[in-house]
Amino acid sequence: MRRAYIGLGANLGDPPAQLRAALAAISQLGRLVAVSPFYRSAPMGPAGQPDYCNAACALDTALDAAALMAALLSIERRMGRVRSEKWGPRTIDLDLLHVEGEVRADADLTLPHPGIGVRNFVLVPLADIAPELWIPGIGGVADAAARIGRQGLAPWPPAP
């Protein structure tokens, strides 16, 4: 078993419900060991999109990284994800962020995820569940999250 870290996001339909459904499906791929709080963030990419609901989870799994990525893509398809526009609106987005002990960059998969170190909507939820995690090329997750800050992030739903 290896620990994998997955980023989740959605901004169509009922985003928190989409994340919960994705987490239920992810839990079938191993043992779900941690889930971050949900965050609201402004969308990257085309204007006029609804805000995103983002989270991160940790999964202990026997799947290798390639098989896990294939399984995540299958979950996205089953949940209605259509890949038609880069950074466009989506029902669900599942990013394999990091798999302990694995660094790779090939046509099918790059680990750690190439955007992990520059996106607070990824780093902050990841720091909530794995503050001591060390990611090659990024360093400690808690330190990286502190450096990037929380600008544009809010709890989902926002506190009254």
Confirm whether 81 is a catalytic residue: yes
Which of 93, 104, 128, 147 does the annotation list as catalytic? 93
Q: How many CB atoms lie within 10 A of CB 38?
A: 19
Which of 2, 3, 77, 90 does the annotation list as catalytic? 90
Closest to 92 measured CA to CA, from 36, 19, 17, 150: 19
* Separation of alpha carbons 19 and 156, rounded Å: 12
Confirm whether 31 is a catalytic residue: no
Which of 2, 60, 64, 95 does the annotation list as catalytic? 95
Confirm whether 20 is a catalytic residue: no
Task: Name 125's Cβ contacts closer than 8 Å, sequence gap at least 6.
Answer: 7, 36, 37, 39, 54, 55, 56
Amino acid at the residue 37: P
Confirm whether 104 is a catalytic residue: no
Which of 3, 81, 119, 128 does the annotation list as catalytic? 81
* Separation of alpha carbons 57 and 40, rounded Å: 16
Are 75 and 92 in contact by the 8 Å Cβ rule? The answer is yes
Are 38 and 150 in contact by the 8 Å Cβ rule? The answer is no
What are the catalytic residues?
A: 81, 90, 93, 95
